[in-house]
Amino acid sequence: MLKSVKLLFLKYKRINLPFEIKMSRILIICVCFSVCCLAACKKSTIYGSVQYKEQAKADDDTLAEFIKNHGLSGVAKHVQGNDTIGVYYIVLDPGQGNALYTNSTQITVGDIGKLITGRNAADTSIAEQTFYETNQFHPTYPLGQMILGWQLGIPMINSGGEVRLLIPSRYAYGHYPQSQLGTQFSLSRGLPANAILDFTINLYDVTN
């Protein structure tokens, strides 16, 4: 009797196990697809929102005025020559060689970061405040872990070069305030949300 039951079980397992494995795989794929769709929908909702578009326009207008007021018209260029991107760069020193950049590229830098501020009811002028400086030491970062403005702008130069990047908030930290940045300088509460940034970056080394 026990032998018969065992044979029946093995026969069932041989027939149905492949089907069960296949169904499990299909279920996993469906779950992953659903998660990705939800994430994509959420992202598209953020980037397609009225608030995002209004902030993008405000940032672009501020940068355009900043460039004009500081005599940078014709000097500051859009990354890839595409005025829909919004990141400006000024090559101060092109550096040497022909660096290849990927997300895993290690960059050793010294940089000064400034917050572009102003354009409010009390003060319509556009000023800057230094919030970060690493020229006293030279940290190394993976390029792919830096803000998108850096990922777009750093490849404009080679090792040993220097570049200035003007970055709208959507290519920096977006609507997320950065309380840890700037407290050692004049920003007691850190970087505010929707911060427009001005970086001068010395690129000391590039390794892959």
pLDDT band at 35 (very low <50, low <70, confident <90, very high): very low
Spans of all domains in the chain: 1-47, 50-207
Position 75, amino acid:
V
Highest mean pLDDT among 46-50, 54-58, 126-130: 54-58
Q: Out of 11-25, 79-93, 192-206, pick the least confident.
A: 11-25
Q: What is the DSSP letter of 192?
A: P
pLDDT at 161: 97
Handedness of CA 185, 187, 188, 192 (dihedral sign): negative
What pLDDT, on the 0 to 100 scale, is given for residue 128?
Answer: 80
- pLDDT number for residue 123: 53
pLDDT of residue 191: 87
Residue 36 has pLDDT above 80, yes or no: no
Residue 186 is predicted with a pLDDT of: 64
Q: Quick one: CA torsion of 126, 127, 130, 131, rounded to 10 degrees?
A: -40
- State pTM to two decimals: 0.73
Q: Is 25 left (phi over 0), alpha (psi -120 to 50) or beta?
A: alpha
Q: What is the mean pLDDT of residues 38-59?
A: 69
CATH class of 50-207: alpha beta
Of these ranges, 8-12, 39-43, 133-137, 198-202, the one predicted with the greatest mean pLDDT is: 198-202
